[in-house]
Structure 1
Amino acid sequence: MHRSEPTRRQINRWRQYLANERAEGALYREIARKRTGEEREILLSIAEAESRHEAYWRNRLGEHVGLPRKASLGTRMMAWMAKRFGTFFVLALMQSAEARNKYVDDVDASDQIAADEAIHAEIVRGLAARGRARMSGDFRAAVFGANDGLVSNLALVLGMVGSGASAHVVLVTGLAGLLAGALSMAAGEYVSVTSQQELLAANRPDPEAAGALPKLDVQANELELVYRARGMTPEDAQLKAQRAFEAIREREEAAEGAIDVEPREEDHGGSGLSAALSSFLCFGVGALIPVLPYIFGASGAVAAWIAGVLVSLALLITGATVGLLSGVAPGKRALRQLLIGIGAAGVTFGLGSIFNVSV
């Protein structure tokens, strides 16, 4: 079938697609270089698919392929990050990028390429989810602890400024808020992580119970009741119990793990003590930023403005980090974090102005 001559706009768009596909394939291979086992194989398979896409656009361009063009800025930035930082953050960024399937509304792209990109987004989502699961609770506590310290202590400091308190009172109040908040966060994190671990432990089957299976009466239904107690339907529980007894008859060692109904949930949250320490330190660092101008002798509106600017920059950083962890565009999360933090501080400043203690 004869193809019509492509327009200048099509040629430019196809050349950009070609450059992006080439760069994305290299990016997946770079990430695969840092991984092992199944994840490495999956990433290399995606890279092969990107090579097929590259060949598709080279074929469409034909004699118009021209000189190699630079990939998009976003793709080049992810390639730079992949060489210098951990692969989890790059995969989280790529999850967001792959979700924006550029071929869905492009009539020049084949249905297969559009479908490939949609599946790639789900593959990257799965790989990023593995990274999130492996992420320790200490890191999570650090990110959210720092963010809470920034917002809560900026609000406290500006509330005191709005009330007309002196610089000395604002400094003392800010330091007191730092200490109280850090201790509260640490205690809450310790209780949260420890309670979660205790709940998970309580839900796990007793390993010693498996040793009783070979001695059970096959005609009775005790094992079936175990499965039903764990949420299975009577029919499924009966079938699973029958299979378990058959396995026991063939090989008694097969009884090990037979009581499990679902795969055991792994705990990646770290210890309660380490999460508490991480939360305490990071909340303290975040809460220290709003009081830095007062520590160095600034006062009045100048100190308040400096505190606001410093906290705004820190909120943008923590918001972007949370966005990366969530697999969404970091820019939107950074802006949301900034608006929430500044909004809370502004409301507290207004409430403090109502009281106007002028200490």
Structure 2
Amino acid sequence: MVERDTTPSAHPGTHRADAAGQPEQVPAPEAGPEPAPSRSQIRRWRRYLANERAEAAVYRELARNRRGEERDILLHLADSEARHERFWREKLGEYVGMPRRPDLRTRFMGLLAKRFGSVFALALMQTAEARNPYVHDDDAPEQIAADERIHAEVVRGLATRGREKMSGSFRAAVFGANDGLVSNLALVIGVMGSGVSSSYILLAGVSGLLAGALSMAAGEYVSVKSQGELLEASTPHPKAHTLLPQLDVDANELALVYRARGMSLEEAEAKAEEEFTRLGLGQASGSDHWGTGGTERRPNEVVGSGLAAGASSFLFFATGALIPIIPFLFGASPAAGAVVALVLVSVALMFTGGIVGVLSGKPPLSRALRQLAIGLGAAGITYLLGLAFGQVLG
């Protein structure tokens, strides 16, 4: 009786016995070629390829207008998008075809980056990176999907830097224009609802423009100045550190300062002892060391000029409030003027709402529609009130 060798071979092939009864290895069949991608896959991969190529160009364009660390970060993002582009080109292989244009949103971001290189382009890139099409696509590797999620966080950080650099005057400009649009449209439509002539509507509109613009400017000036004074009052006195050599070491009044700034008793006493030790060794206690020690809480806000904020608030509120009265400046009838005013203000409201959406990293269309709904809702309410007052007074 011949014993057969049942030891498994190191090779993945199958076995069969030869004429002498010895096992003979049969090579495993080679894997066949990968199946050709479907038409929908090819279209989708080509779109990915075009978008990745365009996004890399956007990051490089943005990097041209920056220096230092931000430039380096943007160039790294461009290299990453170029790596993704190579992946889709290799995956397409012979089906790569002619270069396709990226989608409309990516082209718009490229235009912003090329013409302005501003925070608007970064804010739109943040929104685009957050919409990660690879998460639910089985053809996309998990690594690329994870890369895109990380890119969204990187761009969020860069966009936040840009937002923080914006002064209070820009914020006042955007919201001032929006307030002027809504308030004066509501005033004009409300007065029209009472049944008065175009001249009275125009008078009410001009009065609302001047009163609202002056009120907004004064309020913005006081707000920004008060905010600056609050921050100043919360900042340690720059000369306070010079009093340390004159303090009684045993009384340890310095510990009270640190406790008032949020330290525990033990932390405050240790910090005070450290300061006195520095003085005993002849080392100066710098104002920076005094002002930022421990867990002191400092407001982290950007405050602009009160005059600049007030002036921009006046100008942009007046600009927004001017739009609803434009048709009445040209002698339009109440009904026709109201229709034209509603159209003009609707366009302007969607524009300001879209800007707010872009700056906040949210979809601009939804923010534009929300702004439109608020403005038209306010106008509708005041029209009904004006109609009611007109019937009562009439």
Q: Per the shorter chain, which TM-score range? A: over 0.9
Over 3 Å counting, the alpha-carbon distance change for 1:214 and 1:24 in structure 2 is farther
Over 3 Å counting, the alpha-carbon distance change for 1:237 and 1:109 in structure 2 is farther
Aligned to 2:143: 112
Distance (whole Å) between structure 2 residues aligned to residue 356 and residue 229 of structure 1: 61
2:74 corresponds to which letter in structure 1?
Answer: L
1:32 CA drift (Å): 0.6
Report the more deviating stretch, 105-114 or 175-184: 105-114
Matched, 1:272 2:295: no
**Are the aligned partners of 2:261 and 2:297 in contact in 1 as well (CA < 8 Å)?**
no
Aligned to 2:363: 329
Deviations 1:312-347 (A, max 9, x none): 111111111111221111111111111100110011
For structure 2, the 5+ residue unaligned runs are: 1-30
Matched, 1:155 2:186: yes
The 5 A counterparts of 1:7-46 are 7-46=38-77
Report the more deviating stretch, 103-112 or 214-223: 214-223
Aligned to 1:308: 342
Normalised to the residue count of structure 1, the TM-score between the two structures is: 0.92
Distance (whole Å) between structure 2 residues aligned to residue 269 and residue 71 of structure 1: 40
Aligned to 1:127: 158
The 5 A counterparts of 1:38-57 are 38-57=69-88
- Give the match's secondary structure for 2:137: coil
- Give the match's secondary structure for 1:257: helix
Identity of aligned residues (%): 61
Aligned to 2:237: 206
1:213 CA drift (Å): 3.7
Deviations 1:224-255 (A, max 9, x none): 33232122334444554455556656673452
**Are the aligned partners of 2:183 and 2:321 in contact in 1 as well (CA < 8 Å)?**
yes
Query: Which of 294, 299, 304 lines up with 2:333 in the alignment?
Result: 299
2:55 corresponds to which letter in structure 1?
Answer: E
Distance (whole Å) between structure 2 residues aligned to residue 251 and residue 107 of structure 1: 67
Matched, 1:175 2:197: no
Matched, 1:347 2:378: no
1:219 CA drift (Å): 6.0
Report the more deviating stretch, 123-132 or 47-56: 47-56
Distance (whole Å) between structure 2 residues aligned to residue 196 and residue 154 of structure 1: 31
1:105 CA drift (Å): 1.1
Higher CA-based Rg: 2
Distance (whole Å) between structure 2 residues aligned to residue 212 and residue 190 of structure 1: 36
Q: Higher relative CO (CA 8 A, sep ≥ 6), structure 1 or 2?
A: 1
For structure 1, the 5+ residue unaligned runs are: none
Normalised to the residue count of structure 2, the TM-score between the two structures is: 0.85
Distance (whole Å) between structure 1 residues aligned to residue 139 and residue 277 of structure 2: 58
Query: Which of 301, 324, 329 lines up with 1:290 in the alignment?
Result: 324
**Are the aligned partners of 2:61 and 2:117 in contact in 1 as well (CA < 8 Å)?**
no
Distance (whole Å) between structure 2 residues aligned to residue 103 and residue 246 of structure 1: 59
Query: Which of 258, 264, 269 lines up with 2:289 in the alignment?
Result: 258
- Give the match's secondary structure for 1:356: helix
Deviations 1:140-181 (A, max 9, x none): 111111110110011011101101111111111111111111
Distance (whole Å) between structure 2 residues aligned to residue 113 and residue 238 of structure 1: 52
- Give the match's secondary structure for 1:297: coil
1:7 CA drift (Å): 2.5
